[in-house]
Chains A and B, each alone.
Chain A
Amino acid sequence: MGPVELLHMSVFSQSFSPCGRFLAAGNNYGEIAVFSLSAALSPDASEGSQKPILNFTAHDGPVFTLLSTDTHLLSAGNGEIRAWSWAELIKKVSPINSRNTSTQVLTSLEIPEINAMIINPKDNSLVVGGGDNNIHIMDMETGIFKSVLKGHTDYIHCLCFKEREGEILSGGEDGAVRIWDSRTNRPVHCIEVFRYEVKQIRMRMPQFGKWISCLATDSDWMLCGGGPSLSLWHLRSMSPTSVFPLPGCQREAVFHQDLIMSVGEGPYVSHCLHGGTVKAQIPCTPSSLNTLALNLKNTEHRVMTVGGSSHQIDVFTNFSYRAFSLSF
């Protein structure tokens, strides 16, 4: 990895290990790097502990999404999903050589790319949103694809799961957020976000388009953003309550306690309140951010990590300022 490649690296996805002590990140060259958070957060951390403990090439193309189950790390890029055993990754065994641990799934499906994956814990299935405008549901135990949810007219950017009702939310390039019932696999609602406005503030930002790139839910509330501004929706009434005046497109947003944190174009993490005000914008290293992840599984290593157009991943121990950076 020469200096030119490092200069042009982008981090697209992150995932924490089940124990919460390790972070896996995927970049645009198809590599996955595993970082040890315990080493990086320990008092005698050095520069070496901010480097990956393991770095391997997982896919030919960029790694767009990473997902952790209890035992495995799932990665997806250009049409393939691969599973890596966390136990092996933690032991710093490069899984490329041991073919038996990585299972090549989904080779029969001809999907140009896979942008989002989530797990439905109720029936232990993997929900995959693909470039063929459909959502595929795969049974994790058998590995067979159970069903396909069709409805979007353009490729799917993001997926989200509502635990209480067992509903899947999907946002796509066509600007629509669709809500599906996971038991019946039928569409329940369809919201075309760009048509709405809140308090005379149009959500639509013409220069960016109408695509939806991020979705998050918290019981009754839903966040969505992308081409249109980031907005908070009340799901029962299916109406937007606030629009966040953030300058760039937002690519990932999460609910955390009573804050909303989102990242997107621009070198900062935005902290917003439910009312629609932007409380703070915390600066960080990459010039624009693609992914944000919160490590809530482990109370010792409760950090927020963000990655984007840089080979460095910023780590926030206190969410108000950047502590240090991990680098590929």
Chain B
Amino acid sequence: MSSDAVKKRKPKVIRNETGTPETKRGRAEGDQSVEIEERRTQCSVHFITLKKLNRLAHMRLKKGRDQTHEVNTHIVSSSGEFYNAFPSLEMSWKWTFLESQHEEIELVSEEEFFQEAPAEISRPHVTRDDQHQLTLARLDWELEQRKRLAEQYKMSLARKEKIQKAIEQKREYLSSLQPGLQNIMQASLPVQEYLAIPFEHMQKQAEVSRHLPPPLYVLLVQAGAYGQACDKNLSVSISGDVDEAKALSRPPEDSQDDESDSDAEEEQQNTKRRRPTVGVQLDDKRKEMLRRHPLSLCVDLKCKDGSVLHLFFYYLMNLNILTVKTKVSTTTDLSGAVSAGSLLNSESLLNCLYASDHGKETPNPANRYQFDKVGITTFADYVSDLGHPYVWMQKLGGLQFSSDSALTGSALSASHMERTMKLLRGRLQARLALHKQFSSLEHSIIPVSSECQHLFPAKVVSGLMRWTMMSHQEFTELGFVQHVLKAGLVHETDLFFMAVVERGTARLLAAVVMNPRYPEVAPLFSFSLHWKGERSGRTDDNLRAMESEVNVFRSELQGPRPGLQLLTNQIQRLCVCLDVYLETESQVCDGSEGPKEFPREKMCLRTASPIKMNKMQGLQKQP
């Protein structure tokens, strides 16, 4: 080891001693080896001494360090209390700082000091004269005060700890109560149902309803009140995502921070890659504008025969309008009537509940400007997706867009609620009745109820052959309905049907226009008769008289309230009129044509001469 070290060092020493490499080879080998040995030993001794000295030096250093450390710790501990009271003071090791510390300490004023400090500290007889003593005394007092405060602090900390522990305990206790209470509530549900006090349900509803937007809330309250007070078959419930609704109503600062962050991100993204196209941006803006509130109301109207009309109300937040989607559920199967396809269609079920309330355009005039910004030309495109914004609905939610009345909010909603609910129920019942009637009409049977039998004679020979539905386009192309179109009695929202009545060789085509508000507004019939030529109400006064029999004198054809038999009674009256017409027309043509096609079946006191047709009808009614 050391010899290795020596050996390693040796070539250096040799080189240094010998100087130039040329002289190395000139010496004698023997002298050299002895000298070398001596020097080698000297070297080793020197090295060992060097090491020893090095070690000693280290040890001395270490000892010195330990001593200073000890002294320092002693200082720290003795001045620890002092510094504890002022944690903001720098912990400095230099003595110079310590000396000037006391000047930085804020001492209470002298007067206060003399007032407050106890006599043994203030020692006024000494300190009044001696500034130094005064300062010392004051420092003493300061120390004393600080000690006391430190004590107090410790005590209050301890108390706080205790109280916190107590709070924790109580919280645990409470949280342990929660499952117990839940069990009790569950157990009480059957009792609630039995006593018909849906207490828990109402609580839940009230909880969720807090997050509803104002128009839906008004609607909920008013509909619920109406249901409780007047209409036991109406029920309201809330559906949708409550958490999202809560998220929407979060305070705006958070969202602003998020916005700024996301803006920053977006900017970075924009600079890094290409911007999304204008079309996509516009699309997003549109989606944002048409956004629905996550919560929606469901109102169920039950009818006596068990069918239910479900109305789902949605609120579009940015446009501030309500929209509705409908669904009908019935107890009986509704299939089997081809022509009744659009009767219960959710798109058109609630059309024109009030006159000219089509529900295709938004009733809020301010939306026009919003639409212009995002390039929406008409709201009608989105109606199938978002629901129909009928005007009566806005009124039920307390939203007033026209300057008709001064009412807003709940008062507006309450003033319309009863009438609208009645209309809704009436509409559903009318449509369901029509549905049934249509399936019967398609089988060529005119369903006349027993209450209405007295309106018609016992034997009616003309029969309904066909009952089909038509589109608006097909209707306007018919030749014999132009007078109705000219009089402005046909709208695109109406329903159109064609009935074919036959007797023998005579065939009567009847085109029917039905307003969605049936039976408030009666269907309008127009006739075209194919019998020995073609005649219509325009060319033949008798047919015109028949038309007025069916269209104008409808009040007697309404049947028992609510007048749902109107259509079928009108068709039956049409058949009766056709019978009379054909029989009397044949009477008129005497002579050589052989047996009359239509023998007289009814007691006709008069044969037909044109103007008096309606008189004949009058006679028919008298038995």
Contact = CB atoms under 8 A, between A and B. Distances in A.
Interface of A: 3-8, 10, 12, 28, 61-62, 64, 112-113, 155, 157, 173, 206-209, 211, 213, 226-227, 249, 251, 265, 287-288, 290, 309
Contact of B489 (A7, A10, A208): A7
Nearest to B544: A309
A8 B544 contact: yes
A5 B552 contact: yes
B207 to A, nearest CB: 52
B619 to A, nearest CB: 8
A249 B548 CA distance: 22
A4 B489 contact: yes
Contacts of B606: 155, 173
A4 B610 contact: no
B541 A209 contact: no
A61 B618 contact: yes
Contacts of B544: 8, 10, 287, 309
B551 interface: yes
Interface string B496-530: 00000000000000000000000000101000000
Nearest to B484: A7
B590 interface: yes
Nearest to B553: A8
Interface string B189-213: 0000000000000000000000000
B547 A6 contact: no
B243 to A, nearest CB: 54
A209 B607 contact: yes
B611 interface: yes
Contact of B588 (A207, A226, A288): A207
B528 to A, nearest CB: 14
Interface in B316-368: none
Contact of A113 (B483, B522, B615): B615
Contacts of A62: 614
Interface string B599-619: 000000011011110110010
Q: What are the 7 A-B residue pairs with the smallest beta carbon separation, nearest first?
A: A8-B548, A209-B588, A287-B538, A211-B609, A8-B552, A7-B487, A4-B551
Interface in B109-126: none
17 contacts: A3-B489, A4-B524, A5-B552, A7-B484, A7-B551, A8-B544, A8-B551, A12-B611, A113-B615, A207-B589, A209-B588, A209-B607, A251-B610, A265-B541, A265-B610, A287-B538, A309-B544
B589 A309 contact: no
Nearest to A290: B611
B84 interface: no
Contacts of B590: 206
Given A4-B522, A207-B589, 6 more contacts: A4-B489, A7-B489, A8-B544, A28-B548, A208-B588, A290-B611
B541 A288 contact: yes
Contacts of B541: 10, 265, 288, 309
Contact of A6 (B487, B588, B589, B607): B487
A3 B609 contact: no
Contact of A206 (B484, B489, B522, B589): B589
A173 B591 contact: no
Contacts of B483: 7
Contacts of A6: 487
Contacts of A309: 541, 544
A288 B539 CA distance: 8
Contact of B488 (A3, A61, A211): A3
A61 B616 CA distance: 12
A173 B548 contact: no
B609 A4 contact: no
Contacts of A8: 544, 547-548, 551-552
A33 B610 CA distance: 23
Nearest to A308: B541
B611 A4 contact: no
A173 B609 contact: yes
B505 to A, nearest CB: 16
Nearest to A9: B548
A248 to B, nearest CB: 10
A249 B552 CA distance: 26
Nearest to A209: B588
Residue in B483, B489, B609, B612 with the greatest tally of chain A CB atoms within 10 Å? B609
Residue in B487, B541, B547, B606 with the greatest tally of chain A CB atoms within 10 Å? B541
Contacts of B489: 3-4, 7
Contacts of B522: 4
A287 B539 contact: yes
Nearest to A4: B551
A10 B615 CA distance: 14
A103 B141 CA distance: 127
Nearest to A227: B609
